[in-house]
Amino acid sequence: MIADFPLLLRYNPDILRPNYVYLWRNIIRPLRDIIEFPRFFCYSIERRIIPRHKVLVENQLNIKLRYMLASSDVEFKKLVNALVTCQKG
């Protein structure tokens, strides 16, 4: 994790905790997902994580954190639309 995202060492644990708790309680992802994408902790829980997670739940989609968060809003919408289209047909 540190090799992929060294700035993680500078984060205060109190800042990391809400993201981790949301991931563990709401997104219900294995610890491996955080290890693969430690940048998860740098995203805003209110502005990025929760809204995108809601979109995925509403569309019954499950994707890796990297694809959920690391794209722009436009790219994320395109990805969701493509996945929903694939599900339907």
Q: How high is the mean pLDDT in each 10-residue block of the chain (89 residues)?
A: 86 90 88 90 95 96 94 96 89
Res 64: pLDDT: 92
Res 70: pLDDT: 94
pTM: 0.86
Distance of alpha carbon 89 from its chain centroid, rounded?
A: 26
Res 55: pLDDT: 97
Alpha-carbon distance 39 to 59, whole Å?
24
Res 7: pLDDT: 86
Residue 59's φ and ψ, nearest 5 degrees, are -100, 5
